[in-house]
A and B are shown apart, each in its own frame.
Chain A
Amino acid sequence: MAEKLLEIKNLKTSFRIKDDYFAAVDDVSLNVNKNEVLAIVGESGCGKSALAFSIMGLHTRAKMEGDILYKGENIVGISASKLNKLRGKHMGMIFQDPLTALNPLMIIGDQIGEALLLHNKELSKTQRKEKVINLLNKVGIPRAEYVYEQFPHELSGGMRQRVVIATAIANEPEILIADEPTTALDVTIQSQILDLIKDLKEDMNSGIVLITHDLGVVAEMADRVAVMYAGEIVEIAEVTTLFEEPLHPYTRSLFNSVPNASEEQDRLHVIQGIVPSLQNLPRNGCRFAPRIPWIDGSAHEAHPQLHEIKPGHFVRCTCYKHFHFPEEVRKEEEHHGVS
């Protein structure tokens, strides 16, 4: 059994809109193990970033319920000073947009150095600088001594993302949370950054939570995948299982709507309707049901649960057993002579 670093139990993160709280992460349970990449996939508004921010305790005004156990110790609702001892040291985070993730008025060296300074007071200034230079080398930034003195705007997007990564790994955290780390980057830079993250994982034996909407990135990086829709996990499986035998209607729809560089398709699958906003999330029954209206209501569970289909492969609701795409419906109808 893999060593659990992080155990999330029934996590519910709610935001206040007007006078009510709405859960963006709704009863999510997950484990993150040592030396694995857990990808969390979904479209915008599905709650994947809210989940990442919850783990890091970055929501300042959200209501959090449930447990997040870091090596057995609950970190939901702990004091700010305890949380700050954890963040940056045991948990690091990489952000989506490297253009905005760095302080424009601080030199690169000081920004990375801050992460060291906060968790290791004994380091002298020169030792710290030496470590920062080492980190810059480690993330593949050329002329580290020179870059140390530069301001963020003097670097390209790819280089800035490397700086953000260097900051996140400064104290060799056991958990690294990467929120869409390559979405804002060009494709050749993306593959370099992904390689870098993989190498760092091997190096530090960390558990990585990779938040992304890009199934290609998932296929390249993940060991396990959790698919999120409307604040819930709808499917979890090993990466090969999920790509070869996706079960949940949402997962299957996602796969069919991506133009695939290695396959010819004339038309892409379109998911009906839109991702509901936080206030309009259907809270009862199968949350994906409104978007597959051609599936009979009786196919869904009243209170959809995650079912373990095979060891390690979980699917929410029973509707997957009866799911088919509407194109298939048309064929069937033609077959039966109905127009």
Chain B
Amino acid sequence: MGFLKVEDLKVHFPIKGGLFGRTLDYVRAVDGVSFTLEKGKTYGLVGESGSGKSTTGRAIIGLNHVTSGKVYFEDKEITGETKAKSDFRKDIQMIFQDPYSSLNPKKRVIDLVAEPIRNFEKLTRKEERIRVQELLELVGLNPESILKYPHEFSGGQRQRIGIARAIALKPKLIIADEPVSALDVSVQAQVLNFMKEIQDELDLTYLFISHDLGVIKHMCDHIGIMYKGRYVEEGSAKEIFENPQHIYTKRLVAAIPDIDPRKREEMKQFRAEVNTEYEQSYNDYFNEEGLAYGLKPISDTHLVALPEKG
């Protein structure tokens, strides 16, 4: 069994309506998702807004209610575990998208970083202080700055505080939800490099959620592509980028702007081809509701959502 295993995860949100606010229908934000993370690797979850990628990440850690399905962490079931002090809470941490709003502006760095430690360990003031300073040093911030407030830091530094907080309890898995989307390219580079460094140092596993395929390709070993709450394709980074099989993945990969201005015409033509294919073969890849079919393996690691008939 894998390190983290998600089995047929479903997260449905009720739509209330009518005179008495009855539940009329459900938004199937995550609709039957299964995947496995390998220890020490980075797994990328890709999709456009509304694909359910963030909801999946939040459901794993218990921030969203799980409608059905199971989540196993190191062979123990953790589905719907909401107790703040459960063991897995220590082992799984989250990094959020917006470094400007995910840190409480009224708290000092020491309190922000020590907060998770305080929940799980009894440390003296002095021990705590030393621990926080070590963490700050580890994420490349000045250990002297423990008494500062978040607004005194730049965006990249704030994201580092978020990371310091996430790694404070020496977790095994970090769920990173769009960790660099709000950052400028040079700051983004800083955070991505740093995430790679601590991965080796602390033997971390990442579930990396992003809409940016360039970042995903740079960071991830395995990738899952989501569309409307379902998987359309899963495979190694190489398989997804060089040999996409599902028409949605093809379209997504084709839409990435190419960095070479001389390939403009080529790209335009390529995109037009993919688009034609998308229009012609839409019904082969999606059911009547416009949703993806179940995943079928086409190699050991490469799975594609195709209808039964193949």
A and B in direct contact, judged by CB atoms within 8 A: yes
Closest chain-A Cβ to B176's Cβ sits at a distance in Å of 15
Q: With the chains together, A252 CA to B3 CA distance in Å?
A: 40
Residue from B49, B214, B256 within 8 A of A157 (CB atoms): B49
Check if B257 sits within 8 Å of A214, measured CB to CB: yes
Which of B125-133, B164-172, B190-198, B290-298 lies at the interface with chain A?
Answer: B190-198
The 5 closest A-B pairs by CB, nearest first: A216-B257, A259-B218, A268-B189, A257-B189, A186-B48
Check if B154 sits within 8 Å of A274, measured CB to CB: yes
The number of residues on chain A lying at the interface, defined by a beta carbon within 8 Å of a beta carbon of chain B, is 39
For the complex, is B244 an interface residue (Cβ under 8 Å from A)?
no
Q: Which residue of B has the minimal Cβ distance to A191?
A: B255
Q: Which residues of B contact A271 (CB under 8 A)?
A: 186, 189
Q: Which residue of B has the minimal Cβ distance to A186?
A: B48
Check if A191 sits within 8 Å of B257, measured CB to CB: yes
Which of A117-125, A161-169, A172-180, A217-225 lies at the interface with chain B?
Answer: A217-225
With A186-B49, A216-B259, A271-B189 already in contact, 20 other A-B pairs whose C-beta atoms are closer than 8 Å: A187-B48, A187-B252, A187-B256, A214-B257, A215-B259, A216-B257, A219-B258, A220-B261, A243-B259, A257-B188, A258-B259, A259-B219, A260-B218, A262-B260, A266-B196, A267-B193, A268-B189, A268-B193, A271-B186, A275-B184
Q: Which residues, 253 to 282 on B, are CB-close (under 8 Å) to A?
A: 254-262, 264, 267, 271
For the complex, is B141 an interface residue (Cβ under 8 Å from A)?
no
Interface string of A214-253 (1 = CB under 8 A from B): 1111111010000000000000000110010000000001
Closest chain-B Cβ to A172's Cβ sits at a distance in Å of 24
Residue from B186, B189, B271 within 8 A of A191 (CB atoms): B271
Q: With the chains together, A216 CA to B263 CA distance in Å?
A: 12
Q: Which residues of B contact A240 (CB under 8 A)?
A: 261-262
Interface string of A252-284 (1 = CB under 8 A from B): 011001111110011111110011000000000
Check if B214 sits within 8 Å of A216, measured CB to CB: yes
Check if A259 sits within 8 Å of B257, measured CB to CB: no
Check if B186 sits within 8 Å of A257, measured CB to CB: yes
Q: With the chains together, A265 CA to B254 CA distance in Å?
A: 21
Residues of A that sit less than 8 Å from B by CB = 43-44, 157, 186-191, 194, 213-220, 222, 239-240, 243, 253-254, 257-262, 265-271, 274-275
Name the prevailing secondary structure of the B interface residues: helix
Closest chain-B Cβ to A312's Cβ sits at a distance in Å of 15
Closest chain-A Cβ to B269's Cβ sits at a distance in Å of 12
Residue from B48, B192, B259, B271 within 8 A of A268 (CB atoms): B192
Q: Which residue of B has the minimal Cβ distance to A194?
A: B257
For the complex, is B156 an interface residue (Cβ under 8 Å from A)?
yes
Q: Which residues of B contact A222 (CB under 8 A)?
A: 261
Q: Which residue of A has the minimal Cβ distance to B213?
A: A261
